[in-house]
Amino acid sequence: MTNKNTPTTNNLKYANPLIGTGGHGHTHPGASVPNGFVVLGPDTRVEGWDACSGYYDSDRSILGFSHTHLSGTGIADYGDILILPKIGTMTLEPGTLENPDSGYRERFDKNSETASPAYYKVKLNSGIQVELTAKQRSGFHYYTFPENAKVNLLIDLVHRRDENTLSASLKVLDPYTIVGSRISQSWSPEQRIYFYIKIDKPLQKIYISTDGKNLNQLKSANNKYIQSYLELGQISNLKIRIGISAVDINGAQRNLAKEIPTWQFYETVDSSKELWREKLAKIDIETENETDKIIFYTALYHTYKAPHIYMDVDKRFRGADGRIHTAGGFTNYTLFSLWDTFRALHPLMTLLEPSETNEYIKSMLIHYDQVGSLPKWKLGEKDVKTMVGRHAISVIVDAFTKGLRNYDNWWALGAMIDTMNRQEPELNAYRNYGFVPSDVDVNWSVSRTLEFAYNDWAIAQVARIFRNISLAESYEKRSQAYRQVFDASQKLMRPKRRDGSWDNFDPFAAAWESPFIEGNSWQYTWFVPHNIPDLIQLMGGKSAFLAQLEKLFSLDSSQGNELPDITGLIGQYAHGNEPSHHICYLFNFVDRNDLTRAYVKQILTTMYKATPDGIIGNEDCGQMSAWYILSALGLYQVTPGTPMFDLGYLHFSQATIHLGNGKDFVIQKGNHSEPYLLNSQPVSGWQISYQDIMNGGVLSISSPTPINLPKNWV
């Protein structure tokens, strides 16, 4: 089967960016294009965990409209170059959520808010209508004002940084042109943003503050603390085009000239919508449930929010070494939340975007070339080194074993080996003891051990393909480190001291300074994705493994410490956090595909909703949504790094994946005795290969027999 890679259905109408903006989803509803650096939209709060994206659904006042936003993370950053149209009195204080009128905040009518992937619209209580759209590196504002309004424009370069602003600049080149920069630190230790602004009405007066208190009539300033009010007089509307760059102002100007060269706002909206329409047409689903379509296509939209392009139209980019580089023959990306996304987002992209997968890997390898290590969690040009494991390795090996190798393969192997052998405390402990002991000065000892073991196994896969048997055997031996922290008497992973004795622990405990990161022993015990058969044997065989797995789903959900990341509980299974994401599919390994299907169905139907709080935990740069997409299609990858997909439950009557190689893979419900048929032939076991899918064809999935599951859902 072949496809023409052109949209035949308008799935865009189902994508709702407001889903995930409540609860702890931490998504942002701003206007963007697929994998775009610019996400232009409202900021409603800057304090607290639920301010990570800058927007929260229940808020009823807006600080302004900034140009970069994270989607679904558990730590805040971005929120660069805040612009706010104002009528009347000028003030430099932002005000508070509790008392918006104490500052420049604007109350807004929630019912006036419209959000689609490429367009955002809201009406402020002052009567100003705001419409926004965006391209990869540029944004477009269109404001409509009440009659006889005297209009001011606020540009706040302190927003979301305060004392973390290192330096800033603003200069009015002429009545229609404003340029500037901000260098700041937050989650990322240093971030540079340059901007080039064009407005379609002339400025009348220009005021700049460098102390947060006093406004002076200046045309330029360089200072740590810069806010500017620009008077435009009585105008009925205003258009603003802005280019953004991490390189320099010239780059921002070129980005704007290339991406938004005219003042045709609605034409820009339409062209950005078309980019989204193409991406959302990559999968067609057939169902009579309109709500399921909204959930599915919003999830697909979320998977294209990260990684994002991080280079100018002239291919210059700021590297991890702080220098300016030019991308030769590749597209540079950043925003790699790899501890999350190696599990489902990147496997999904090997199906939909195999060419871009190669670009992601090239970006990681360039990062290695500049600083000597593959990124762990990349934000802007820097590795913020959040979470554990070294899952750039997982992404590279998964692509490599699937035949996606459009990069220097030997360079990739060397980068992975160097990354796992760096002189870092946790890696030193892992190599010295064969696991990470709990009594060395390193936290999350068990999680680190399990994830390093998986990373080592991944390296061994590439070594074997290269026929370097001694190297493969060395890393395969290291990959058995999980055995060191498995307590057979409890059938659980637990912390171990340097001398080999077990440390005291509570298998339900989850805390920031614990042996487990964002989880507990019950949730992490199952993280041996590279050798589930051996984990089964360690537990005493299939029956014992099944009993322990069923126990996980039936335990008291209230046991253990509460962490905001641990949500979506079924017993001690926590769908709101990534360590649990593969666990439903482990029933397949002990011949209980019926339980895999039953639990997957229950999660799909109870933990994803078409509401602002419709994502059960942090969306995590597409991972929560990618789990939904793959699982709703009847597919998942327990072990990224092998070219095998595990089979589960099909949530729709039929789905068609328009693959990145131009072929179609159809998944449909069937009435047959065998659980799965691939091109009319019974599937042996519960897996099909990546190549089976990429060849195109038809997977038929029988309807499961209903099963009564535990009722302890939280």
| Domain containing residue 191 | 21-250
Q: How confident is the prediction for the chain on average, in pLDDT?
A: 96
The one-letter amino acid at 382 = K
**423 in any annotated domain:** no
Q: In this predicted model, what pLDDT tens digit does every residue of 77-100 receive, in sequence order?
A: 999 999 999 998 889 999 999 999
Query: Mean pLDDT across the stretch 473-499?
Result: 98
Tokens of 253: 């100007």
Closest by CA position to 183, among listed 134, 251, 248, 252: 248
Residue 713 in this model has a pLDDT that exceeds 50: no
Q: In this predicted model, what pLDDT tens digit does every residue of 51-84 receive, in sequence order?
A: 999 999 999 999 999 999 999 999 999 999 999 9
Tokens of 35: 């994998």
Query: Mean pLDDT across the stretch 465-472?
Result: 98
**506 in any annotated domain:** no
- Reported as a pLDDT band with limits 50, 70 and 90, residue 710 is low
pLDDT of residue 338: 99
Q: In this predicted model, what pLDDT tens digit does every residue of 342-351 receive, in sequence order?
A: 999 999 999 9
Q: In this predicted model, what pLDDT tens digit does every residue of 624-644 receive, in sequence order?
A: 999 999 999 999 999 999 999
pLDDT of residue 2: 59
Q: Which residue has the tokens 């009128």?
A: 101
Contact by Cβ (8 Å): 586, 547: no
Query: Mean pLDDT across the stretch 442-464?
Result: 98
**406 in any annotated domain:** no
Using DSSP's 3-state secondary structure scheme, residue 489 falls into coil
Residue 568 in this model has a pLDDT that exceeds 60: yes
For the chain, what is the domain count? 1
pLDDT of residue 228: 98
pLDDT of residue 714: 42
pLDDT of residue 712: 52
Tokens of 368: 């290695």
Contact by Cβ (8 Å): 370, 378: no
Query: Mean pLDDT across the stretch 553-572?
Result: 84
Query: Mean pLDDT across the stretch 574-602?
Result: 97
Q: Which long-range contacts (C-beta less than 8 Å, at least 24 apart) are formed by 468-472?
A: none
Q: What CATH number does residue 163 fall under? A: 2.70.98.10
**139 in any annotated domain:** yes
**75 in any annotated domain:** yes
**42 in any annotated domain:** yes
pLDDT of residue 89: 85
Query: Mean pLDDT across the stretch 191-217?
Result: 97
CA pair distance 439, 448, nearest whole angstrom = 14
**60 in any annotated domain:** yes
CA pair distance 22, 714, nearest whole angstrom = 17
CA pair distance 678, 562, nearest whole angstrom = 44
Q: In this predicted model, what pLDDT tens digit does every residue of 309-358 receive, in sequence order?
A: 999 999 999 999 999 999 999 999 999 999 999 999 999 999 999 999 99
pLDDT of residue 561: 63
**195 in any annotated domain:** yes
Q: Which residue has the tokens 């390189």?
A: 247
Tokens of 40: 């232009």
Residue 208 in this model has a pLDDT that exceeds 60: yes
CA pair distance 656, 665, nearest whole angstrom = 6
